[in-house]
Structure 1
Amino acid sequence: MNNRGGRTVLVILGVIALIVGVVFAGQGANLIPGSSMTGDRTWLYIGIIVAVVGVILIVLGLRRPGRGRPDGES
């Protein structure tokens, strides 16, 4: 993604996914009480996956756009 707006959206979505993933994992690991998700290992695994996706989106959004190849090279 080369335009700045698109990269900003990726970073915002990545941060949201990271926060949601950490909360899900915390509830699944019984670190955050008060929910039906508390202590259920399924939410721990779902949270880890969502958090990793969030980190990937953040990294993709923060990467500098590629310069491309000069004309004539393949």
Structure 2
Amino acid sequence: MWPWLVPGVILIAVGAVWTLQGLDVLRGSVMSGSSLWATIGPIVLLAGLALVAVGILRRRRRT
């Protein structure tokens, strides 16, 4: 479970920050206001959610 959850949570956090920077909500970075990061961020965030979901499902199957 943990090998899936920890990277998943990290990817969720990174994806959220990248999305907010790309949308120019978080300023002060080279990535601020860049549509590239506004696109990559949600993809990374969804990958993190998928890892968390896999971790949760694997735990439920064991019990």
State the TM-score, normalizing by the size of structure 2: 0.91
Figure out how many residues of one structure are paired with residues of the other and give that number: 61
Check if 1:11 corresponds to 2:29: no
Alpha-carbon offset, residue 8 of structure 1: 0.9
Aligned counterparts of 1:65 and 1:41: Cα–Cα separation in 2:
40
Q: Kindly indicate whether residue 56 of structure 2 is the aligned counterpart of residue 65 of structure 1.
A: no
Distance 1:30 1:41 in 2: 9
Q: Name the TM-score, length of structure 1 as normaliser.
A: 0.78
Stretches of structure 2 lacking an aligned partner (at least 5 in a row): none
Task: State the alpha-carbon separation in 1 of the partners of residues 38 and 6 from structure 2.
Answer: 23
Long gaps (5+) in structure 1? 1-6, 68-74
- CA positional deviation for 1:9: 1.3
Give the share of equivalent positions with the same residue, in percent. 34
5 Å-filtered alignment, 1:30-69, equals 30-63=24-57, 64-65=60-61
Report the counterpart of residue 72 of structure 1 in structure 2: none
Q: Distance in 2 between matches of 1:57 and 1:33?
A: 28
Deviation at 1:66, TM superposition (A): 6.4
Q: Which contiguous aligned blocks of 4+ residues in structure 1 show a shift greater than 3 angstroms?
A: none
- Of structures 1 and 2, the larger Rg is shown by 1
